[in-house]
Every structure is written in C-alpha cells, then in structure tokens.
Amino acid sequence: MQSLFNNPPVLGFAAYSGTGKTTLLIQLLPELKAEGLRIGMIKHAHHSFDVDKPGKDSYELRKAGAEQMLIASQQRWALMRDYSQPREPVLEELIAQLDRGQLDLILVEGFRSVPFPKIELHRPSTGNPLLHPRDSSIIAIASDEPLETRLPVLDLNRTDAILAFVLAWMQQTNDT
C-alpha cells in the first residue's frame, strides 16, 4: 500500500480543529494550480455530512436504498457511497478511488493519526499542544509564531512560503 502514497506524492495538512486547515488549502490550491499541477484532495470529516440535497433525484434514490449512487453530467460526476455499518474512513481506500494517473499531487486534510508526510498547522494562541514530535511523519510546521523545533518552521500567514516548501518537497520526493 505504501506505493499509494508515492505515485503521485501524498501530502497531508494536520492540526486540531479550528486551526485553519481549510482556509490555508483554499489559498494554496490556486497557487499550486498556477504552477501547472493537477491536484487531488481528500478531506476527513468528523461528523455526518451530505453532499446531496433533499428533493434532488440522486438524494431520493440514495435514501430509497442505493448504497452507491453515481451521478454524472457533461461537466462532472460524483459517487456517493453509504456504509451499511458506520466506520472510520481508511485513507488508503480513499486514495485508491482517485484517478491517480491524472494527478501530480494529492493533498489530505485530516487523518492526523495515519503515518504519511504531513505539514502540521499550529497556532499557539489556541492552547493546543504540537502534534510533533509525537507524530514522526510531520515534515514541517506552519505556525503563526516562531517555534523551537528541529523541523522547518513555515509562516502560516505566508502562503508563498508554504507553496515553495511543497514544491521543493515534491521535487525531492520525485528525485528519490
């Protein structure tokens, strides 16, 4: 399964809730795209969610009993799959669902307990402890304050610095 994390490379963004993972990724994604990269994204949700809306055909068909519902148009398709028994999602299974041959990089928001390369987002003002060094798969920390650590520390408020780190990391990953 380790090859799932390498081709294309998979990079996570891990932090406690409310640290700004989604905000950062919304800023970073257009910059990565401007570099010509094709990005896949996986987000872990800690709660029940629905992408369908009540009243829409796909929602009604899924609620009527379809465990897998694929809806397609000229512009996109989406697959919704309901588990018969609730369970935590498995990152490797989700990566395998992506069309990896069409991607240069897969970004993951969450899954902080899974060992794969991650950038930790840390805001000391939240009072939460660092995930590093307990998580040895963290390769850098993006913080809004200076930190004492052996890892690279990136300015959480400078997307350009985070972009430069991600591009350098990708180059290094591709060279090995």
- Spell out the domain ranges in the chain: 2-44+89-175, 49-87
Just give the CATH number of 2-44+89-175: 3.40.50.300
Query: What is the pLDDT, as a whole number, of residue 40?
Result: 95
Tell me the average pLDDT across 134-148.
96
130 confidence band (pLDDT: 50, 70, 90): very high
Give the residue with greater pLDDT, 7 vs 166. 166
Percent of the chain with pLDDT over 90: 63
> Of 134, 126, 166, whose CA–CA distance to 11 is shortest?
166
Can you give the pTM of this predicted structure? 0.89
Q: Is 68 a residue whose pLDDT tops 50?
A: yes
User: Cα(80)–Cα(166) distance, rounded to whole angstroms?
Assistant: 30
Give the residue with greater pLDDT, 173 vs 68. 173
User: Cα(47)–Cα(21) distance, rounded to whole angstroms?
Assistant: 16
Query: What is the pLDDT, as a whole number, of residue 1?
Result: 43
Give the residue with greater pLDDT, 142 vs 71. 142
Tell me the average pLDDT across 8-26.
95
User: Cα(102)–Cα(6) distance, rounded to whole angstroms?
Assistant: 14
User: Cα(84)–Cα(91) distance, rounded to whole angstroms?
Assistant: 19
